[in-house]
């Protein structure tokens, strides 16, 4: 596909108050002639925005272009609170004005094609943008082929709510419309998947909603795993706070969902069929489609990387961070992703200067809130070990037998973590 174009920039391409910058972008030949290096970042979520900001702060004369189709980013962390009616969606939303004010050029388009030979990306309005280095942080897409019966149309009846926004609000409305005495089923996929503890946090907060509004109701967790992160902490909290309201059917009990029928709202598992009142189906996942188009995914559907530079093992000059990459022991979380964005920025600055990048040590912190005022956490450190990231010493998890004061403190810490990471990422 020919990527270079002189097609004039349209108004749609010139967004977020950067009309002049975008107009300049219509002439790639001019841009090639500039003296400073250009880094293009695809995806303005936790990884892409953190990386773009860190690149600009590290070296002001670099030209940093962030390409993201949505004018407003809606955060998944804390979206379970929105589903449970504890928070409004607006508290999850962040724009890109502050990044633009710091000198990052923000383009409101999706990237539709990438030409590694010409080092150029094409946006949905047909404009080609050359790059010296490309960073992909496009997050996840769903592996619909792995769950027969489930697709975008089915998600309108059986929402996944695994990308925050309209799906989050749809699941909340379905809960609100459910009669007391109903059943909410949550289908949990196997790993690797985005934020492995989040389905259990969701089960907890939905149980909190039901306990306070529809106490005869039930949460059924249909799980493709036998064990899960922070399991003892979750199960203790469930018993303490919700009695028998949450029932979990694990993999070895036949809990893995094998197909769904959206017309009858039926979930089929290895053990039997379920027709819950509300069906939250979280499908299996893989790296976002643009990663596959770029040629950086392998047979797993994820992107293998060099853990020191985050450069793709399959395509040169292209770096992949965040949920899309095969990170070894590092979790697919906003916290770890933001750390990857900054480390990747440091590696790119070194590579552009002809220096060898230093091996990063990354820290990820994961908070789970199981009820208002009741939280716990897990912190991990990760370093390159051979071809992947491995968890190294220094991690910590909340004790299982902690007093309620600690749970209350950790719930407050979770809220502070969210304010800090979103301010750090989006300004």
Ligand X SMILES: Cc1cc2nc3c(=O)[nH]c(=O)nc-3n(C[C@H](O)[C@H](O)[C@H](O)COP(=O)(O)OP(=O)(O)OC[C@H]3O[C@@H](n4cnc5c(N)ncnc54)[C@H](O)[C@@H]3O)c2cc1C
Q: How far is the CB of 17 from ligand X (least distance, A)?
A: 19
Q: Report the residue number, 26 or 324, with the smaller CB distance to ligand X.
A: 324
Q: Report the residue number, 228 or 252, with the smaller CB distance to ligand X.
A: 228
Q: Report the residue number, 137 or 381, with the smaller CB distance to ligand X.
A: 137
Residue 412: Cβ-neighbour burial (10 angstroms; 0-12, 13-18, 19+): exposed
Q: How far is the CB of 359 from ligand X (least distance, A)?
A: 21
Q: How far is the CB of 252 from ligand X (least distance, A)?
A: 25
User: Which positions ≥6 away from 113 have C-beta within 8 Å?
Assistant: 1, 3, 121, 122, 293
Q: Report the residue number, 87 or 266, with the smaller CB distance to ligand X.
A: 87
H helix or E strand, kind and range, residue 66: strand 63-67
H helix or E strand, kind and range, residue 361: none
Q: Report the residue number, 190 or 268, with the smaller CB distance to ligand X.
A: 190
Distance from C-alpha of 249 to C-alpha of 230, rounded to nearest angstrom: 17
Residue 300 · residue 326 · CB < 8 Å: yes
Pairing of strands 266-269, 273-274: antiparallel
Q: Report the residue number, 43 or 180, with the smaller CB distance to ligand X.
A: 43
Q: How far is the CB of 27 from ligand X (least distance, A)?
A: 21
Q: Report the residue number, 111 or 154, with the smaller CB distance to ligand X.
A: 111
Q: How far is the CB of 377 from ligand X (least distance, A)?
A: 10
Tell me 328's DSSP state: B
Question: Where does this chain bind ligand X (CB under 6 A)?
Answer: 42-48, 67-70, 73, 76-77, 79-80, 110-111, 137-139, 162, 194-195, 198, 288, 290, 322-324, 332-335, 337, 366-367
Instruction: State whether the Cα torsion 83-85-86-88 is positive or negative.
Output: positive
Q: How far is the CB of 93 from ligand X (least distance, A)?
A: 12
Contacts 24+ apart (CB under 8 A), 422-427: 422/75, 422/94, 424/50, 424/338, 425/46, 425/49, 425/50, 425/53, 425/94, 425/338, 425/341, 426/49, 426/73, 426/94, 426/95, 426/96, 426/98, 426/99, 427/53, 427/97, 427/98, 427/99, 427/101, 427/102
Residue facing ligand X at closest CB distance: 45
Alpha helices in 137-196 (DSSP H): 152-155, 166-177
Place of tokens 């969210």: 418
Q: Report the residue number, 217 or 368, with the smaller CB distance to ligand X.
A: 368
Q: How far is the CB of 74 from ligand X (least distance, A)?
A: 8
* Other Cβ atoms closer than 10 A to 131: 22
Q: How far is the CB of 10 from ligand X (least distance, A)?
A: 17
């Amino acid at each position: 596909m020919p990527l270079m174009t002189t097609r004039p920039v349209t108004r749609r391409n010139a967004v977020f108050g950067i009309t002049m910058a975008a107009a300049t972008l219509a002439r790639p030949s001019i841009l090639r002639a500039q003296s400073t290096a250009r880094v293009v970042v695809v995806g303005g979520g936790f990884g892409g925005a953190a990386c773009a900001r860190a690149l600009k702060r590290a070296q002001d004369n670099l030209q940093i272009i962030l390409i993201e189709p949505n004018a407003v980013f809606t955060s998944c962390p804390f979206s379970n609170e929105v589903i449970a009616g504890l928070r409004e969606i607006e508290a999850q939303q962040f724009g890109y004005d502050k990044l633009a004010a710091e000198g990052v050029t923000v383009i409101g388009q999706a990237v539709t094609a990438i030409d590694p030979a010409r080092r150029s990306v094409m946006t949905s309005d047909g404009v080609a943008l050359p790059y010296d280095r490309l960073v992909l942080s496009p997050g996840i897409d769903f592996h619909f082929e792995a769950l027969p019966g489930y697709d975008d149309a089915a998600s309108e009846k059986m929402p996944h709510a695994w990308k925050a926004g309209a799906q989050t609000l749809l699941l909340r409305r379905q809960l609100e419309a459910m009669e007391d005495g109903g059943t909410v089923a949550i289908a949990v996929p196997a790993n690797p998947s985005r934020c492995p503890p989040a389905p259990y946090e969701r089960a907890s907060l939905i149980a909190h909603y039901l306990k306070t509004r529809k106490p005869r109701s039930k949460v059924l967790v249909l799980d493709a795993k036998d064990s899960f992160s922070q399991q003892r902490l979750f199960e203790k909290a469930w018993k303490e706070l919700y009695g028998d309201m949450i029932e979990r059917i694990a993999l070895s009990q036949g809990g893995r969902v094998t197909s769904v029928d959206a017309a009858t709202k039926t979930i089929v598992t290895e053990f039997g069929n379920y027709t819950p009142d509300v069906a939250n189906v979280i499908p299996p996942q893989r790296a976002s489609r643009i990663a596959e188009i770029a040629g950086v995914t392998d047979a797993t559907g994820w992107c293998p990387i060099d853990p020191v530079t985050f450069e793709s093992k399959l395509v040169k000059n292209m770096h992949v961070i965040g949920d899309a990459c095969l990170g070894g022991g590092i979790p697919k979380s906003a916290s770890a992703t933001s750390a990857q964005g900054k480390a990747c920025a440091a590696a790119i600055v070194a590579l552009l200067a002809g220096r060898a990048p230093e091996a990063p040590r990354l820290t990820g912190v994961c908070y789970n809130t199981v009820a208002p005022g009741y939280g716990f956490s897990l912190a991990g450190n990760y370093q390159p070990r051979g071809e992947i990231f491995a968890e190294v010493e220094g991690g910590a998890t909340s004790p299982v037998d902690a007093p309620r004061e600690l749970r209350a403190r950790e719930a407050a810490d979770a809220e502070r973590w969210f304010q800090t990471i979103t301010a750090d990422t989006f300004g």
